[in-house]
Structure 1
Amino acid sequence: MAVVRLAFVGAGRMARTHMRNALSIEEVEVVGVCDVDRGRAEEAAKIAGTKAFLSVDELIREGKPDAAVVSVPPFAHGEEVDLKLVRAGVNLFVEKPVALSLEVAFRVLEALRAKELVGAVGYHWRYWETTREAKWLLEDKEVVFAGGTWQGGIYHPSWWRRREKSGGQVVEQTTHIFDLVRHLVGEIRRVYSLRRRGVVRDIPDYDIDDATVVAMECGDGVPVVVTSTCVLDFGHKVGLSVITRKMVVEVGVGRLSVIESGHRLEKVARNDPYADELRAFVEAVREGNPEGVLCPYDEGVKTLAATLAAIESAEEGRPLEVKGVT
């Protein structure tokens, strides 16, 4: 395939980031932008020099895309977006989380496999060169413990503060740290969670957890703790520390710290992970080979399974096994 006909479903902030990157790829032709908000769709379409659509059906029929970037709120994933695209033979790049239920995620995964399409998920932390170096450093090390956190404020869209629409901070935001744990430490097999609620009382329609602590059993028995809070009015601390017998590897937002006895190395990523993940997806579609995609769709489903188990554990007050993905 010489040129990938690329469509966009969702025209918000993340979609426009991906759109700017798509416009810099010579092998991409943007064939349409779809959003339920006409003004937003038309504004984004104007940026890309393409046509605006209000329905996925119209986008498929008139745009005839080979692939689509889906940047919609978590509650919008499913039958009317992802599955319609896949059933029409459209390769899929999906922003995280891939859904709000494993039932929906499994249906999309099965459809992608049945059609032999490329499915990718926007866990962009995997694409930072600092994360890649961390993975290389840890390959031959025995991990003893890891601790991660996402401490910040309430994301501004109104859907984010409603659990039925976002899944809450763990599912929508700290999911990046869960995915990083899976990527660097090992599969999350069991979780036990605690939560705090009722602190934020001045935000309308807010019903998500104020804070969570999730203890995990990963890989071959590595204990990991991931904490989250969104009660601040500023971003504070985000990242993962992985401890081996003689080394600490800390991965932050585009940063890497490697700490050994008497020595500390600091690195800052020079690459744009959003640009790299989209180019990897486009190349996978062009070549019919998903090998360069660092987070294929099934990996996104596994991370979703871990975050959903963490939320369920907090509700039930007991440890839970994470449902597997084959």
Structure 2
Amino acid sequence: MAGITRKFHVLFIGAGNITFGNDNVLWNHSLQIETYLGARLEVIGIVDPSVERVKQVLHQKCASATATCYSKTKHFLTLHEVQEQLKRTGVHPDLIVLATPPHYRGTTQPGRDLEVQVISAFGPAPGLFCEKPISTAQTTEVWPVAKLLQQSGNKIAVGYMLRYLQVVQKAISIIRDNNIKAMAVNARYSMAYSKVRKVDWWNKAKQCGPIVEQATHFCDLCRYLGGEIDLDTVRACALEHYESAGKLLNMSVDESQVPVEERIPRVTAAFW
């Protein structure tokens, strides 16, 4: 009975929209975890450099039906602070959600090596939920981290949750049960760009825009349903920011803050 009722300890790294939502991001990981774990959930900490954001999150959570899950939540600025706190309390996370922006993850470079830091700090015991995309670095920089995760002993999950929709699971069961090989997969994604308020989304050196941040789900489903991709066959074209049709009039950010060479395309079309 004790194994069923004991608290399940969660540590959130990153207090952004994907973790806690906002007025136009309704899907968020904390809500899903709260729904699944119920009263068993105990959020032991939130790691984020923004004091104001964490105050806002905790104020909202402590006024909600899940307030008891956050009654002992601590705000940490760094992973080192978490380690020191856990040494004193003896509480260890069962699950760590890695949800910082992707340009802080997925490599072995200092400052962009969150997975390396977490495994070094907590070892193989906690499960790791890695938000997608794993990184915005070049693939050659990411492979060593993928190998590290494979060998770490941690249970690993990545945030490609569309795979688990009932309609997608039904489709994959039909494909597998009938030994079908997909001839083609068509996918289209349109982004309401006027709703994107983060400057980093518009920067190829940081979050890379809607293709990497959201349409990556569609790329994952194409691979899941249609099979692996021969990268040598990929062909793509783009409408760039400097072309006349690429001049956007209703933006929520000032794109002049983004270096010209790093501004994202307005449309990307690809096939393979």
Please name the residue that 2:65 is paired with: none
Please name the residue that 1:91 is paired with: 127
Assess, with a 3 A threshold, how the Cα gap between structure 1 residues 28 and 179 changes in structure 2: closer, same or farther.
Answer: same
Q: Give the aligned residue type for 2:79.
A: V
Deviations 1:56-102 (A, max 9, x none): 22123324423211222221214452221122224310111000122
* Residue aligned with 2:236, SS: strand
Please name the residue that 1:142 is paired with: 181
Distance in 1 (CA, whole Å) between partners of 2:18 and 2:51 is 17
| Residues 1:6 and 2:14 aligned together | no
**1:104 CA drift (Å):** 4.4
Aligned alpha-carbon RMSD (Å): 2.1
Assess, with a 3 A threshold, how the Cα gap between structure 1 residues 128 and 12 changes in structure 2: closer, same or farther.
Answer: same
Distance in 2 (CA, whole Å) between partners of 1:151 and 1:196 is 14
Distance in 2 (CA, whole Å) between partners of 1:93 and 1:60 is 19
User: Does the 8 Å CA contact 2:200/2:208 hold for their aligned counterparts?
Assistant: no
Question: Which of 29, 45, 54 is equivalent to 1:41?
Answer: 54
Distance in 2 (CA, whole Å) between partners of 1:9 and 1:197 is 34
Assess, with a 3 A threshold, how the Cα gap between structure 1 residues 28 and 108 changes in structure 2: closer, same or farther.
Answer: farther
Q: Give the aligned residue type for 1:136.
A: S
Distance in 1 (CA, whole Å) between partners of 2:42 and 2:146 is 26
User: Does the 8 Å CA contact 1:135/1:184 hold for their aligned counterparts?
Assistant: yes
| Residues 1:210 and 2:257 aligned together | no
Distance in 2 (CA, whole Å) between partners of 1:122 and 1:158 is 23
Q: Give the aligned residue type for 1:10.
A: G
* Residue aligned with 2:269, SS: strand
Distance in 2 (CA, whole Å) between partners of 1:27 and 1:172 is 31
Unpaired runs of at least 5, structure 2: 21-27, 62-69, 87-91, 107-111
Match runs of 1:155-304 below 5 Å: 155-190=196-231, 191-198=234-241, 199-202=246-249, 203=251, 204-205=254-255, 207-216=263-272
Distance in 2 (CA, whole Å) between partners of 1:152 and 1:59 is 37
| Residues 1:62 and 2:61 aligned together | no
Please name the residue that 2:89 is paired with: none
Deviations 1:25-72 (A, max 9, x none): 044321101111111123334522311111122123324423211222
User: Does the 8 Å CA contact 1:74/1:98 hold for their aligned counterparts?
Assistant: yes
Deviations 1:94-139 (A, max 9, x none): 1110001224432332222332111111111011111111111222
Q: Which has the higher contact order (CA 8 A, sep 6+)?
A: 1
Please name the residue that 2:25 is paired with: none
* Residue aligned with 2:100, SS: coil
| Residues 1:19 and 2:30 aligned together | yes
Assess, with a 3 A threshold, how the Cα gap between structure 1 residues 29 and 104 changes in structure 2: closer, same or farther.
Answer: farther
Distance in 2 (CA, whole Å) between partners of 1:146 and 1:208 is 25
Assess, with a 3 A threshold, how the Cα gap between structure 1 residues 103 and 52 changes in structure 2: closer, same or farther.
Answer: farther
User: Does the 8 Å CA contact 1:33/1:59 hold for their aligned counterparts?
Assistant: no
User: Does the 8 Å CA contact 1:33/1:45 hold for their aligned counterparts?
Assistant: no
User: Percent of pairs identical after alignment?
Assistant: 25
* Residue aligned with 1:213, SS: strand
Q: Give the aligned residue type for 2:117.
A: K
Q: Give the aligned residue type for 2:52.
A: G
Assess, with a 3 A threshold, how the Cα gap between structure 1 residues 31 and 107 changes in structure 2: closer, same or farther.
Answer: farther
More helix as a share of residues: 2
**1:145 CA drift (Å):** 1.8
Unpaired runs of at least 5, structure 1: 217-326
Assess, with a 3 A threshold, how the Cα gap between structure 1 residues 3 and 115 changes in structure 2: closer, same or farther.
Answer: farther
Assess, with a 3 A threshold, how the Cα gap between structure 1 residues 108 and 42 changes in structure 2: closer, same or farther.
Answer: farther
User: Does the 8 Å CA contact 1:169/1:209 hold for their aligned counterparts?
Assistant: no
Distance in 2 (CA, whole Å) between partners of 1:57 and 1:111 is 21
